[in-house]
Amino acid sequence: MRIKSINLLAVFALLLCLVYPSSANAAANEGEGGTGLRPVQAFDVVAGKVVKTVPNTPDFQNYAKSWLKANTGLSPKLQAEDKCGFVFRIPLDEPTAVKAGADQVTTQDVFLFYCPKKPQLLLIFDENRKPYLLNFKSNIKPFLKAMDL
């Protein structure tokens, strides 16, 4: 069941990658006075689409990297029937090393799964696009406020 859930999340996250091609993002973000990074996106799970795209600022980089440092290990599973909340994609400014259970992996994107009244989760991919679903303990309220959703 765990593998099935992670595979479902991996497909979901990969769909987010396809929504906004990285070369177009960088050009658009630079044109808006951004950092040249791919933007942060909010995917509404119920609506089934990206509902917000914002420039990827140093604050968003700090949020994502602090979550990675606050990870408490691999998540036991996520039920596929959970259809609420948002998935946020935060592309990182550089590949970042993360402790994922017994493995040390390098990732370039952080996906935050946020569903009110459920534990928040992170999804990352290693260099070979292998997914890792992580538990973490961190206050995400400042991030949610910055996303203004």
CATH code: domain of residue 96: 3.30.1490
Domain count, the chain: 1
SS3 12: helix
Check whether 47 has a pLDDT greater than 60: yes
Q: What is the pLDDT of residue 23?
A: 38
Average pLDDT over residues 24-34: 43
Average pLDDT over residues 91-107: 94
Where in the sequence is the domain holding 25, given as residue range(s)? 2-147
Output b/e per residue, 99-108; b: 16+ Cβ within 10 A.
Answer: ebeeeebebb
Q: Which residue has the higher pLDDT, 147 or 36?
A: 147
Average pLDDT over residues 23-34: 43
Is-contact 46 83, C-beta < 8 A?
Answer: yes
pLDDT band at 101 (very low <50, low <70, confident <90, very high): confident
For residue 95, count other CB atoms closer than 10 A to its CB: 11
- Average predicted confidence (pLDDT) for the chain: 81
From the list 67, 146, 75, 72, the residue with the least C-alpha distance to 112 is 67
